[in-house]
Amino acid sequence: MAPMPKVPPGAETITLGAGCFWCTEAVFQQIPGVLSVTSGYMGGQVKHPTYDQVCGGRTGHAEVAQLVYDPKVTSLEKILATFWHVHDPTTLNRQGADAGTQYRSAIFYHTDAQRAVAEKSKSEAAKEFSQPIVTEITKATDFYPAEDYHQNYYRLNKNRNPYCQRVIAPKLKKAGLPE
């Protein structure tokens, strides 16, 4: 397993589920003010789950990206604006071909202030979608970093894994980020 993300003084943490964590990680690694992105699991009952367990849908965990960001450089509002833009928050337990509760849309907040920002952001985003947003907004629970080979996945595999070019690269393009 990868190490827990380090949170420097003054930085904040937010945990987001937007389908496959490889996609979520690739997007948020490029956002100015985001200091680190760690792929992992949250929201389930099994302690220290493995990728195979989570993919099997037996843990209750979502694939998530835990972001550590500097609020002096970027705001949670800006991070969440990107979150709504790069995935479909109206589809329950599915993003593209990835289906199951592990791919659910979720915001795991770490403070009450973040919860308020997330709720307001969701209300604002709802105006942009024709279907209701199904994103859960839940208090963060234990975060379990994914196995090492899931970290920095797109950066390390973009020319080797067809999934990267077929699924992740279009998300980056949609967000106006370099592929």
Active site amino acids: 20
pLDDT value of residue 156: 94
Q: Could you give the residue ranges of the DSSP H alpha helices within 15-165?
A: 21-28, 51-55, 76-86, 112-126, 153-157, 162-163
The residue length of the chain stands at: 179
Task: Say if residues 145 and 4 touch (Cβ distance below 8 Å).
Answer: yes
The 3-state DSSP class for residue 127 equals: coil
Of the candidates 137, 134, 89, the residue with the CA atom closest to the CA atom of residue 111:
137
Residue 131 burial (CB count, 10 A)? 10
Q: With bands split at pLDDT 50, 70 and 90, how would you rate the model's confidence at 1?
A: confident
pLDDT value of residue 116: 98
pLDDT value of residue 53: 96
The reported pTM is: 0.95
Assign a CATH topology to domain 12-174.
Answer: Peptide Methionine Sulfoxide Reductase; Chain A (3.30.1060)
pLDDT, tens only, 129-165: 999 999 999 999 999 999 999 999 999 998 988 888 8
Q: What are the φ and ψ backbone dihedral angles of 17, each rounded to 5 degrees?
A: -110, 120
pLDDT, tens only, 96-136: 888 999 999 999 999 999 999 999 999 999 999 999 999 99
| Cα 127 → chain centroid | 22
